[in-house]
Homo-oligomer: A and B are copies of this chain.
Amino acid sequence: MDTRDRPMYMISVAADLVGMHPQTLRIYENKGLVRPQRTPGGTRLYSERDLDRLRAIQYLTTELGLNLAGVEHVLRLQDEVNQMKSRLERMEREMRRAVEEVHKSYKRELVLYRPPTELVPQRKRTN
């Protein structure tokens, strides 16, 4: 498990760290915006990742003035954007790899059917 996912802080500490009212954190959990772990006794334990999320919510509400319905929607959309970004990057790498692959396949054929050397134009040696 990532260390940022380890449940660490009870609600008063977590609220302190992000500068919010503990009751506010409970409201956010009711709305499904954060899902802190619970001890067997029922006490909430917030991970670093939970705190990140809380700070994101804080930015959207206090700086940009969104309500909680908007926060929910925006967080989901941002997930989608990030997912697409990494998909784009993956595809870029894949594209380069595919082109390289084609090159290689033809190099094999060229070796197989090499013409007399005096007819081959100058070309960078690739070992």
Using CB atoms and an 8 Å cutoff, list the residues of chain A in contact with chain B.
60, 64-67, 69-71, 73-74, 77-78, 80-81, 84-85, 87-88, 91-92, 94-95, 98-99, 102-103, 106, 109-110, 113, 115, 119-120
Contacts and interface: CB of A to CB of B under 8 A. Distances in A.
Contacts of A84: 81, 84-85, 88
Given A70-B71, A102-B103, 19 more contacts: A60-B73, A64-B69, A65-B69, A66-B73, A67-B69, A70-B74, A73-B74, A77-B77, A87-B88, A88-B88, A91-B92, A94-B95, A98-B98, A102-B102, A106-B106, A106-B109, A106-B110, A113-B113, A115-B115
Counting every copy of the chain, the complex holds 2
A46 to B, nearest CB: 25
Chain A binding site: helix, strand, loop or mixed by DSSP? Answer: helix
Given A84-B84, A87-B88, A119-B113, A66 B77 contact: no
Given A95-B91, A113-B119, A119-B113, A69 B69 contact: no
A11 B103 CA distance: 62
B81 A77 contact: yes
Query: Which residue of A109, A119, A120 has the most chain B CB atoms within 10 A of its CB atom?
Result: A109
